[in-house]
Amino acid sequence: MTARIIDGKALAAVVREEVAEGVAALVAGGVPAPELAVILIGEDPASRVYVSNKVRQTEAVGMRSRRYLLGSDATERSLLELIEELNRDLAVNGILVQFPLPPHMDIARVVTAIRPDKDVDGFNPLNVGRIAAGMEGALVPCTPLGVMRLIKSVHQDIAGLGALVVGASNVVGRPMARLLLQELCTVSIAHIRTTDLERRCREADILVVATGVPGLIRGRFVKPGATVIDVGITRVASASGVDKLVGDVAFDEALEVAGAITPVPGGVGPMTIACLLANTLSAARMEAARRKAVEAETAV
């Protein structure tokens, strides 16, 4: 059996199209185009590329963007002050602080400082809690949100399926598991101290892997017919001397066993930025609805 390859690039294009239509509808209704503010601290070249891609794609769907570049010696206080200014700025719908942060900054303090309704990365504890409690109105972290779209491109209904998430980070693994639970999958989470990973993987109808360990999941780990989503991205030197990106799944082996599988690159990666755009639109829609409700109240 050869698995269906899930085309993340094509699905991301669909999401961007949906966002562009949503933005056009908001603007046609008299609401200003949504605006995303992206903050980058330091000169990490990979982060610079990510930020440029985010800004370019934001503008391509008709939204506005701002970019703030802080030096690697910027203080945490100066970052928190900038976030506070953007929290108060009525023109800004989404605030994103590009990770990784420099070591002298505290991630928890930074994500907590972002107003929950502008938290397009979904890392503010209020959004984390809303997702954990299955409450409406949360902004969901972009990568797990994109993975859910990828899974739903294969399965109409995932209720009752067994899902294993390998990796338990706050950015991917934990929110991923909560979203799968919300869809009534029977969910397990594996991590660095999990024993007998192979057996646990073989029981999963849906296997989502986010560890950053290239080739961790071998073909024999995969349940025949399972849907395999490879979130991992690691840059490795290839024989040709040009760096290449590899995932956490031994793709060629898993391809022979799985029912559907995402490639690396071209799977989860493109969906992550597309979902950032979708979150910025969601934030703008929620803000527009709030303002309308206030206007209606004051008109009475």
Indicate whether 169 belongs to the interface with ligand NAD (CB under 6 A): yes
Instruction: Give how far Cα 254 sits from Cα of 2, 71, 226, 263, 269, Å.
Output: 9, 43, 10, 11, 19
Nearer to ligand NAD, 86 or 165 (CB): 165
283 alpha carbon, distance to own chain's centre: 15
> 119-158 mask for ligand NAD (x: CB under 6 A)?
------------------------x---------------
Indicate whether 188 belongs to the interface with ligand NAD (CB under 6 A): no
Which residue in the list 54, 119, 230, 248 is annotated as catalytic? 54
Nearer to ligand NAD, 53 or 72 (CB): 53
> In this structure, are residues 92 and 86 in contact, taking their beta carbons and an 8 Å threshold?
yes
Could you tell me which stretch among 16-24, 30-38, 206-214, 253-261 binds ligand NAD (CB under 6 A)? Answer: 206-214
Give yes or no: 118 in active site: no
H or E, element range at 243: strand 243-246
Count of residues in contact with ligand NAD, rule CB under 6 A: 25
Distance CA 231, CA 208 (A): 7
Indicate whether 57 belongs to the interface with ligand NAD (CB under 6 A): no
Distance CA 233, CA 172 (A): 12
Could you tell me which stretch among 24-32, 121-129, 229-237, 290-298 binds ligand NAD (CB under 6 A)? Answer: 229-237
272-291 residues in contact with ligand NAD (CB under 6 A) are 272
Indicate whether 168 belongs to the interface with ligand NAD (CB under 6 A): yes
Ordered DSSP codes for 252-281: HHHHTT-SEE--SSSSHHHHHHHHHHHHHH
User: ω into residue 102 within 30 of 0, thus cis?
Assistant: no
Indicate whether 101 belongs to the interface with ligand NAD (CB under 6 A): no
Strands (E), 191-232: 206-209, 227-230
Give yes or no: 98 in active site: yes
Interface with ligand NAD (CB under 6 A): 143, 166-169, 171-173, 190-192, 194, 197, 210-213, 216, 231-234, 268-269, 272
Which residues are identified as catalytic? Answer: 54, 98, 121
